[in-house]
Amino acid sequence: MALKNDLLSQVNVPKMETPAELPPRFPIRWRWTMLVGFAVMLAVLVLSLVILDMERDAWLKNQESQARVLVERLGDELKIPMLVRSSAEVELIVQGERGFLKKVPDVLSVHIQYAGGDDKHFGAIQKQDEPVLNQLTKNINAVRMLSDRLWFMQKVEYAGTVVGSVAVRFSEHAWEELAGKLVGRMALAAILVILMSSVLVYWIAGRMSQPLEMLADAAGHVAHGDYNVRLPVTGNDEISDATSQFNSMVEELAHKEKIRDVFGRYLNPKLVADVFEGGVSGMENRRQEVTVLFADMVGFTAFSETTETEEIVEVLNKHFEVFHRIIDYYGGHVDKYIGDAVMAVFNHPNEDVDHVRHAVMAGLSMVAACSRLGVLRENGEPIQFRVGMNRGEAIVGNIGAAERLEYTVIGDTVNVASRMGGIGDGGEVMLSEDTFKYLSDEFMFEDMGEREVKGMSQPIRCGKVSSSENAVRRNIAHAVALAFDLTLPSDVRQIIGDIEES
């Protein structure tokens, strides 16, 4: 159970990030539909008002022509009764059984104005009619008057003498009925026009927004690293231009990513990423504390003399593939391959405060990985690697000519690390005593005394490092298991099973 808990704690499960709160999505097709619908509705409203105004003018002209005839006829009938001031006869003519008000239902009221100033009113009178009546009283000599209240006036004369005037107020009920019918029909037509135009605009906007939606969806795939997205280019407009430019952009990004992947196989991926994202400005020359690890094959010269070239390359690549994954697991990076040797650097370019411990763990894991590979020579002996390392300051910078640079580490720290590997036998991890001081009590140091190191003026006390701590051994077993099977990080149970079986 302790083994399982340790492995579960070592497997990094990425946490899902909560997306930022976004405003409610309002599709373009609905925006266009609402905009056009509002524009059509406004146009229909304005057109309806214009049509109603024109129809009212036409109705008033027709009403005026009819009223003129009726009022003139009424004035002729009232000439003599008004001249002799016969109120009974006037009343009979206006509102008798066969009077004017009975014959013409559209008339609401009749106002009689005598020349002497007296007046007589028949029918209903409304408050809003009072200003009109006052004006009629003062304008007795007017031929006719047309107001908003539909009053029509006729001067009454007899033998050239003005005996008074008669004013008739017609009803607006006919116009209200006509206007109601017009408004109903125009409203129905407006609804049909708005519905048809909205459906048409929704369809057209949908056809226009579909490429934009595809473009947004494809951009999302590209943002997540999928550079295989391509969009069909149709039409000859701004949207097709944008789609074509998008495809060109994705092709360029894919090409750039391929170049990055290729360079990442020869250089440190982080350095490659820094160059692609920010150029070489961040790759300045400086001194930095690092731990350098060297691992080279034991007896490579004899092995190469008795083995075919293809098999030599295959054996080296098989080991280096596993070594690379182990080094990467512990946060280091492979600086270079030198024939049968590999050089790795810790704490550069990735910062790591515990780089000495991680370098030692990587070295012990590489020794264990060699045993698990179990590649044998022709004489039956297993292929082993000597591992040596050293901690100290090194110069980090661009080394080489202007046409060909190598961003690497150089200095005594690197030279000592290279010499450490040659001191021990195969399957051992060698380091200096000064380097071992930076390790915790979970590691043991087997002192091998002081050794002369080429290039160093003073001998260096060195020894073999190992560990019997269960936590360290489990971590090494985990790193080796991951190096042999890249699918293990997604299946923790399989990791546990492999380690427990080993």
> 298-311, pLDDT tens digit by residue?
888 888 888 888 88
CA distance 30 to 13: 41
CA distance 176 to 150: 13
Quick one: pLDDT at residue 84? 82
Q: How far is CA 38 from the centre of its chain?
A: 29
CA distance 164 to 83: 8
Quick one: pLDDT at residue 381? 83
The arithmetic mean of pLDDT across residues 267-294, rounded, is: 69
Residue 284 structure tokens: 């300045």
pLDDT band at 25 (very low <50, low <70, confident <90, very high): low
The arithmetic mean of pLDDT across residues 166-188, rounded, is: 80
Higher pLDDT, residue 487 or 429: 429
The arithmetic mean of pLDDT across residues 280-292, rounded, is: 75
The arithmetic mean of pLDDT across residues 190-218, rounded, is: 80
Q: What percent of the chain has pLDDT over 70?
A: 80
pLDDT band at 279 (very low <50, low <70, confident <90, very high): low
Quick one: pLDDT at residue 240? 79
Quick one: pLDDT at residue 364? 93
| pLDDT beyond 60 at 146 | no
pLDDT band at 275 (very low <50, low <70, confident <90, very high): low
Q: What percent of the chain has pLDDT over 90?
A: 12
Quick one: pLDDT at residue 113? 80
pLDDT band at 360 (very low <50, low <70, confident <90, very high): very high
pLDDT band at 396 (very low <50, low <70, confident <90, very high): confident
Quick one: pLDDT at residue 266? 56
The arithmetic mean of pLDDT across residues 93-117, rounded, is: 82
CATH homologous superfamily of 284-501 equals Nucleotide cyclase, GGDEF domain (3.30.70.1230)
The arithmetic mean of pLDDT across residues 46-64, rounded, is: 81
Q: Is the peptide bond before 349 cis (omega within 30 degrees of 0)?
A: yes
**Residue 118: partners with Cβ closer than 8 Å, 6 or more residues away:** none
pLDDT band at 323 (very low <50, low <70, confident <90, very high): very high
Assessment of whether the complete model's pTM goes beyond 0.75 = no
pLDDT in tens, 429-444: 999 989 999 998 889 9
Element (H, E) at 65: helix 28-77
13-27, 78-92, 457-471: the lowest-pLDDT one: 13-27
Residues forming CATH 3.30.450.20 domain(s) in the chain: 29-176
| pLDDT beyond 50 at 60 | yes
Contact yes or no for 74/154 (Cβ under 8 A): yes
The arithmetic mean of pLDDT across residues 331-349, rounded, is: 89
Element (H, E) at 25: none
Share the mean pLDDT of the chain. Answer: 78
CA distance 369 to 318: 11
Quick one: pLDDT at residue 283? 58
What is the number of other CB atoms lying within 10 angstroms of the CB of residue 170? Answer: 22
| pLDDT beyond 90 at 293 | yes
Burial letters for 92-103: b for 16+ Cβ neighbours within 10 Å, e otherwise? ebbeeeebbbee
SS3 33: helix
Instruction: Please give the DSSP secondary-structure letter assigned to residue 21.
Output: P
Q: How far is CA 346 from the centre of its chain?
A: 39
CA distance 275 to 282: 8
Residue 15 structure tokens: 């946490």
Contact yes or no for 362/293 (Cβ under 8 A): yes
CA distance 213 to 492: 39
90-94, 98-102, 270-274: the lowest-pLDDT one: 270-274
* Pairing, β 119-123 against β 286-297: unpaired
Residues forming CATH 3.30.70.1230 domain(s) in the chain: 284-501
Higher pLDDT, residue 453 or 293: 293
Region of 427 please: left (phi>0), alpha (psi -120 to 50) or beta: left
Most confident of 129-143, 403-417, 460-474: 460-474
Contact yes or no for 330/456 (Cβ under 8 A): no
CA distance 264 to 338: 17
pLDDT band at 262 (very low <50, low <70, confident <90, very high): low
**Residue 246: partners with Cβ closer than 8 Å, 6 or more residues away:** 215, 218, 219, 231
Quick one: pLDDT at residue 270? 59
pLDDT in tens, 4-24: 444 434 444 334 444 455 567
Q: Could you say which of 3.30.450.20, 3.40.50.1240, 3.10.290.10, 3.40.50.300 is the CATH number of the domain covering 29-176?
A: 3.30.450.20
Which stretches of 119-217 are assigned E, i.e. beta strand? 119-123, 151-158, 161-170
